[in-house]
A and B are shown apart, each in its own frame.
Chain A
Amino acid sequence: MTPRFRIGDPVTVRRAYPAGHIRAPHYIRGKGGVVADMVGAYPNPEELAKGNWNAPLAPLYRVRFAQASAWPDYVGPAHDTVDIEIYEHWLEPSAGSAHG
């Protein structure tokens, strides 16, 4: 499976709230960051939780968010970040990004 994003790509986490076993934390949905690393492809936990062991592997990224974008009321320096592991199907290219 060819990963859809590359290191350095600006991405936005889908703002969606489906039921189920979802590893994209609520606090980051709808927020924009940058792909910091690509860390392989893994069984999709949303499918595993339903007992589906045969679903395609989900590419996983480490996405870096400025704390100030994660939390509009963040009180630390602008260079502080939160890095989160997010599966590809939870990411969309950010508006204005080079490819997407």
Chain B
Amino acid sequence: MADHTHEHDHDHARTFAPDEETKLGYYGLAEIAVRELLIEKGLFAPEEFRMGWERFDTNGPAMGAKVVARAWTDPAFKERLLRDGSAAVREFGVDMGLIHLYAVENTADVHNVIVCTLCSCYPKPLLGPPPDWYKSRDYRSRVVRWPRQVLREFGTAVADDVQVRVHDSTADLRYLVLPERPAATTGWSAAELEGLITRDALIGVARIAPPPTHGATE
């Protein structure tokens, strides 16, 4: 609406908004054309195409949570994960393809946070599709420059004596933050811990919330 200067006595927001999708561009059209050709030639069926999207869209951070819970409870696995993330997650049947998974560990002294300033690189096989805010220009341009302020907007204050380490995912690596395990979970099994682990902590914009105190009334 920047150059919307002509005179009006009505409010567009209340009156008229055309129900139109963005026009198909060159690549949008090319995708449809190639897909239809591949279907016509019998390389895959429409049902398989739909299932692929369904799988992609409904994939969440559950696998990432499994991997982190294992790292919290199995020091040898944690070492493998930090040394070669792609090889370590293969133990869970996750295939990162040619992508190098790079896990970074939060400690009492270091807080890691992930961004892709160039586009929206994200460890999809572990976390599912990225949230809209992760792909937004706002997050991408600001977290790399004002990380502490952006973390505070997410409710995550980092003390000045803790180092904030932003990782800009610019090339062939995909990052996974290994968050700190809450102190009050001594003796918990990996399966129990999984339930505490949330997506945003694996991107590094949040910490793992401590579990509700035992015996507390809901």
Contacts and interface: CB of A to CB of B under 8 A. Distances in A.
Interface of A: 23-25, 27, 39-40, 42, 45, 60, 62, 67, 70-71, 74-77, 79-87
B145 interface: yes
Interface of B: 98, 100, 102, 117-118, 144-149, 160-161, 163-173
Given A25-B118, A85-B173, A80 B163 contact: yes
Contact of B170 (A71, A76, A85): A85
Contact of A84 (B102, B148, B160, B168): B168
Contacts of A84: 167-168, 170
Nearest to B112: A83
A84 B167 CA distance: 6
A64 B164 CA distance: 12
Contact of B160 (A39, A77, A86, A87): A77
A83 B167 contact: yes
B166 A23 contact: no
Contact of B100 (A40, A79, A80, A81): A40
A77 to B, nearest CB: 5
